[in-house]
A and B are shown apart, each in its own frame.
Chain A
Amino acid sequence: MSYFAQALINGVALGGMYTILVLGFSVIWGVMGVINLAHGEFVMVGAYLAWMASDFWDVDPFVSAPVVFCVMVLFGYLVQRLLVNRIINRSSLVSLLVMFGVSIILQSVMKVSFSADFRLANTDLDGAWRLADRLTIPVTRFWVLVVAVGVTVALSLFLGRSRLGKSIRAAAQNREAARIVGVDIDKVYAVTFALCIGLTGVAGALISPLLAVQPFQGPPLTLKAFAITAMAGLGSVRGALGGAMVLGLVEAMLALYVDRIGTNLAVVASFVLLVAALVLRPQGIFKGLRHVDATST
């Protein structure tokens, strides 16, 4: 029984991590229709920034996260101006390939600058709280979950209540109509992309004490973000939370009940979940900013 409870706790904690990992990817896709295949690499860059702060100046990743956010917002803005602007109206093949190119570039720059060694950032919020015999809460993951829920609520409020948030949603629903009523589409796209890359960088900072920071950590993260988003609805903030929790729990339960299943095979789980969800319910499970429409005929 306590094993089950522990798996439940682990699953929810993992879900918290996935939530913050997926939000930026989901909103970019929902609003701009661009599948950010370099998502995992932006996470990786954020993680490297937090690791540098931790290693060089002994700053806790939870403290450096806001700084990472600002740096990544700037970086996101630059990438949007230079590249993403050119591919928004092109076919999905073009945007996939260009973002794929960005991911290769980021991997290679990080490998040249920091080598491929595995790194971990240090945080004071580590260890575990004992609830009962053989039942613990991992402290870092708990705080990641808290931040994730906080960010989800904030983002949800921003998109739902603020004027800028409303124009972002309007642009997602009907671009031309939004333009006609005076929404500055270019600005909306720039803000959306910059903000989402900022969030993605924060996700990287938060997981830097948990997952090994290395240049090639990105692709599995992108894959998971894709799986969660396609299940949860494009750009749906609450859906991202729900989908992330589902994936987290599935992975934790798999680890409990299936022998010899490492974190590596978690990728298999998320992939099977993705294809099953898309084939069975191609229109997505939750309602997002944009329709999921995955079937070919």
Chain B
Amino acid sequence: MRREAAGDPGSRERAAGRTVGATALAALVVLVVLPLLPGTSNATLLTLTLMLTSIGVAINWNLTGGFTGYVDFGHAVWFGIGAYAAAILISLQSNGPQVGWHPVPAIVVGALVAGVLAAAIGRVTMRLKGPYFSIAMLGTFVAVREIVRVWSPLTGGGVGLTLPPYLNRELFYYLELALVVVLAAFTWWLRHTRFGAALVAIREDEVGAETRGIDTTRFKTAVFSFAGLSTGLFGALWAYQNTFVDPDIAFVEVRTIDAVMGTMLGGLGTVAGPILGATVLYWLRELLWANLLDYHLLTQGVLLIVIVLFVPRGLVGLFDRRGASLLELWGWKGRSRGLRQSSAAGGEVEAAS
């Protein structure tokens, strides 16, 4: 994929880019300043941190699901693995005295464990395509949770692990904010590299990409491992803040569902999509949670169906269709006709038949 702007000259695109950039900057400034205001409670900070986690995971999911077209139905597994690896290292004990690691190396190693496992598992499962890959990842998720539950000497089994509390909400908030900004910038940059183009080529026509000399296995495994590592990092950070992990709260389907839904809502395979979608979804859910506790899951299911059937290009697509092209630069569609059409079909994953 060459980086040519289709048809219209760069001036409008630059203007749109400036608008988007200004909006993003304004949002960022608000997020940076907010904790410094006197009225901000720890609870608000925690809510915002969880929102950032949700955005981060959605960005990572979009790397494989949106760009490469490998729809991962078990992405939350890396979150859980990162959380558990860090928790195990921090709460390590040997006959009495705690010999647990310092949190910083523990969190880094936790993310690395998730990344290495993602590389190993992705190596095998990414040989499968379409729905086969999706279900294999769903299987990985369920299987890993059960293994964690059974492997009690290491993982504490169903009882879980308790971590020494360290509750500096502001630190975690700024850390995750920085992470999300870096990830968003990384995704944007990735879109403009050969590597990013290769990923999209894999999504559009994997055999064709292979024929053109792209080492598809290496590319897709690389991006899958990176996504695993990054989600593992969010998991490790979450575990440390939560001060407690057990199989049923570290490995939650909802985290995958949120990543998929957030990305679909915002716009699959776009840079701004997962950020926008995950944010909207997060607040929508807070609203539902507060008002319709019993029915929030039901509403979410209905919403998923409605998005998939009626808004396949997501919120970014809505902006774009109006011709305002507000998000053109972030949305990276419209660079070529072929891409535009395929993203209209919801990031076509080749059917099994």
Contact = CB atoms under 8 A, between A and B. Distances in A.
Contacts of B264: 97
A91 B136 contact: no
Interface residues of A, number: 53
Given A108-B301, A268-B143, A271-B142, A278 B346 contact: no
B149 interface: yes
B260 interface: yes
A107 interface: yes
B37 interface: no
B139 A97 contact: no
B124 A279 contact: yes
Contact of B128 (A93, A105, A290, A294): A294
Contacts of A264: 146, 149-150
B27 interface: no
B302 A112 contact: no
Contact of B139 (A105, A223, A291): A223
Contact of B305 (A83, A226, A262, A291): A83
B309 A86 contact: yes
Contacts of B207: 297
A218 B264 CA distance: 24
Interface stretch (B187-195, B225-233, B291-299): B291-299
Interface in B116-172: 124-136, 138-140, 142-143, 146-147, 149-150
Contacts, number: 152
Contacts of A75: none
Contact of A294 (B129, B143, B298, B346): B129
A262 B147 CA distance: 11
A279 B127 contact: yes
B210 interface: yes
Contacts of A268: 143, 146-147
Contact of A278 (B136, B295, B305, B345): B136
A104 B301 CA distance: 5
B301 to A, nearest CB: 3
B349 A92 contact: yes
A143 interface: no
Contacts of B125: 275
B135 A107 contact: no
B300 interface: yes
A270 B73 CA distance: 17
B298 A230 contact: no
A290 B127 contact: no
A227 B73 CA distance: 15
A127 interface: no
A93 B348 contact: yes
A58 B152 CA distance: 42
A226 B147 CA distance: 20
Interface string A77-118: 000000100110011111011101111110111011000000
B298 A105 contact: yes
A96 B134 contact: yes
Interface residues of B, number: 55
Contacts of A297: 127, 206-207, 210, 216-217
A100 B353 CA distance: 20
A176 interface: no
A219 interface: yes
Main secondary structure of the interface of A (DSSP, over half): helix
A94 B73 CA distance: 13
B71 interface: yes
Nearest to B138: A223
Contacts of B290: none
B331 interface: no
Contacts of A145: none
A5 interface: no
A296 B353 contact: no
B120 to A, nearest CB: 12
Interface string A264-290: 110110111011001100100000001
A98 B308 contact: yes
B124 A33 contact: no
A296 B297 contact: no
B352 interface: yes
A274 B302 CA distance: 30
A257 B294 CA distance: 43
A101 B130 contact: no
A100 B206 contact: no
A104 B308 CA distance: 14
29 contacts: A35-B131, A86-B309, A87-B309, A90-B345, A91-B350, A92-B131, A92-B351, A93-B71, A93-B130, A98-B304, A100-B257, A101-B305, A103-B301, A104-B298, A108-B298, A109-B298, A219-B138, A226-B135, A230-B132, A265-B147, A267-B139, A272-B143, A275-B128, A279-B128, A282-B128, A294-B129, A296-B129, A297-B210, A297-B217
Interface of A: 33, 35, 83, 86-87, 90-94, 96-98, 100-105, 107-109, 111-112, 219-220, 223, 226-227, 230, 260-262, 264-265, 267-268, 270-272, 274-275, 278-279, 282, 290-297
Query: Top 9 nearest A-B pairs by Cβ distance?
Result: A104-B301, A271-B139, A296-B129, A105-B301, A108-B297, A101-B304, A101-B305, A108-B298, A294-B132
